[in-house]
Amino acid sequence: MDLMEKKVVYVQTELGDIPEDWLVCEFQDVMTGFSSGQTPYREIKRYYEGNIPWITSGELNYNIITDTIEKITSEAVRKTNLKIVPKGTFLFAITGLEAAGTRGSCGITGIDATTNQSCMALYPIPDRLITEYLFHFYVKNGDLLAFKYCQGTKQQSYTGAIAKKLPIAVPPTTEEQSAIVEALSDMEALIRQTEKLIEKKKAIKQGTMQELLKPKEHWNNRTYGEIFDFLQNASYSRSQLSDEGKVHYMHYGDIHTQFDDFVEIGKDDIPFVGRNIPTNYSRVKHGDVIMADASEDYAGVGKSIEVFNGNDAPVIAGLHTILLRDKHKVFVDGFRGYIHHIEIVRDQFMSLATGMKVFGLTKSALSKVLIPVPTYEEQQKIRSVLSDIDTQLRLISNKLEKLRLQKQGMMQALLTGKIRLV
């Protein structure tokens, strides 16, 4: 693929500086058929016992949609006046745009399907715009367009009239659009390949943990209360975190989203709060364990990380966490992060968790949970095997992050004409 070498003149638009030979126009100038679907009457159960795919806005995840959570009958299609959206159609979310997970979300149908009223189908005019270019344009700009153009008080939404007026910048030929799509699709393929490799490595780690952490007859059962001191955590909310702070702050959300079972202070991206540690909060030391004591599902109950803090940086455990310190060095450094994966430990977490919408463990309940304790030699061997897998996972994860950043850079350059492909 060749880069266009001639000097390009740019013009200023609401989408940024765009080459003067590009078409900067409204959606309605390059698209037709702004249509949304409906939800068949829920009280008629048989409507949802068919085999016709029915797409909701929650399934628009910047993807090609090849299956749907729910399927409906031909009777539901007929009675609800639904249209079959053909394979290869661009869809974007038009309601609930105040939510970060929905705002800007879009997809392309990989099957013939129907949709609900929260999805809008757009059909590019042949020889003016290709669907795949529209998809990449909206992935880049959908969030900003929603902020600027959607309307509503409690719920932010697009109407068909608003959607028709949305701005778009289009390269002058479908050949150039196709070249942009090809470049971005190649990068997406690399990202998907790397994501699959990560999932494969995670599965290997899970299987290895199940085998290595299976309790042996000679392992000694001891309780969390016997092994750990329960130290004082802080209770700052997310809104109280500050870029100007000097103290690392491990919020329970940081634990749930943590890539692996450890966090290395100084290398991992941990938020800050304040400039000094208040005297009534315990300072996290190297080898301490921070457990999330609340989760929206049972799988997250008791999720823990071991803190590597070799430089003794200022760190405190935050809201909805339990800070644990191995008071008699029962475990070797680097093994404590794996304790919450031991099946018998997890089973106890789930049986002791309380709550309705959010499940949690109390310190009192946790103190009674039994941990099968391997010998020091076994702990070291288990740690060695699992840490090797964790290292591989982290390397692949870093590669994935770099690829995603490269894609963002490519989108910025290609979709604003800073780099021209012919």
Whose tokens are 């405190």? That residue is 316
**Strand 315-317 versus strand 248-250 pairing type:** parallel
Rg for the chain (alpha carbons), in Å? 26
Output 258-262 pairs: Cβ under 8 A, ≥24 positions apart.
Answer: 258/305, 259/393, 259/394, 259/397, 260/337, 260/390, 260/393, 260/394, 261/304, 261/305, 261/306, 261/337, 261/338, 261/340, 261/341, 261/390, 262/305, 262/306, 262/307, 262/308, 262/334, 262/337, 262/390
Encode pLDDT of 79-100 as tens digits: 999 999 999 999 999 988 777 7
Q: Looking at the domain assignment, is residue 409 inside a domain?
A: yes
Burial class of 421 by CB neighbour count within 10 A (0 to 12, 13 to 18, 19+): buried
Co-location of 42 and 187 in the same domain: no
Rounded mean pLDDT, 233-242: 78
Write down the pTM of the prediction.
0.82
Q: Looking at the domain assignment, is residue 5 inside a domain?
A: no
Residues 6+ apart with CB under 8 A from 282: 231, 232, 233, 316, 317, 323
Residue 162: φ, ψ to 5°: -65, -45
Residue with the larger pLDDT of the pair 1 and 264: 264
At residue 276, does pLDDT exceed 80? Answer: no
Co-location of 123 and 143 in the same domain: yes
Rounded mean pLDDT, 256-282: 78
Q: Looking at the domain assignment, is residue 396 inside a domain?
A: yes
Q: Looking at the domain assignment, is residue 1 inside a domain?
A: no
Rounded mean pLDDT, 287-312: 88
Rounded mean pLDDT, 400-418: 95
Structure tokens at 367: 């103190």
pLDDT given for residue 5 in this prediction:
46
Whose tokens are 């609401």? That residue is 14
- Of 60-64, 110-114, 270-274, give the lowest mean pLDDT range: 270-274
Q: Looking at the domain assignment, is residue 393 inside a domain?
A: yes
pLDDT given for residue 7 in this prediction:
66
User: Considering the chain, what percentage of its residues have pLDDT values greater than 90?
Assistant: 69
Co-location of 363 and 387 in the same domain: no
pLDDT given for residue 219 in this prediction:
97
Co-location of 197 and 224 in the same domain: no
Residues 6+ apart with CB under 8 A from 63: 107, 108
Co-location of 239 and 337 in the same domain: yes
Co-location of 152 and 191 in the same domain: no
Co-location of 365 and 234 in the same domain: yes
Residue with the larger pLDDT of the pair 268 and 343: 343
Q: Looking at the domain assignment, is residue 3 inside a domain?
A: no
CB atoms within 10 A of CB 76: 23
Domain holding 51: CATH number?
A: 3.90.220.20
Co-location of 282 and 394 in the same domain: no
Tally the domains of the chain: 3
Encode pLDDT of 379-400 as tens digits: 999 999 999 999 999 999 999 9
Co-location of 231 and 199 in the same domain: no
How sure is the predictor about 155, in pLDDT bands with cuts at 50, 70 and 90? confident
User: Considering the chain, what percentage of its residues have pLDDT values greater than 70?
Assistant: 97
At residue 1, does pLDDT exceed 70? Answer: no
Co-location of 183 and 120 in the same domain: no
Encode pLDDT of 170-199 as tens digits: 999 999 999 999 999 999 999 999 999 999
Q: Looking at the domain assignment, is residue 97 inside a domain?
A: yes
Q: Which of 81, 147, 170 is nearest to 417 (CA)?
A: 170
Q: Looking at the domain assignment, is residue 215 inside a domain?
A: no
pLDDT given for residue 252 in this prediction:
83
At residue 3, does pLDDT exceed 70? Answer: no
- Computed over every residue of the chain, the mean pLDDT equals 91
Q: Are 92 and 63 in contact (CB under 8 A)?
A: no
- How many residues are given for the chain? 422
Q: Are 142 and 92 in contact (CB under 8 A)?
A: yes
Co-location of 369 and 379 in the same domain: no
At residue 275, does pLDDT exceed 70? Answer: no
Residue 131 domain boundaries: 10-172
Co-location of 349 and 228 in the same domain: yes
Encode pLDDT of 8-39 as tens digits: 789 999 999 999 999 999 999 999 889 999 99
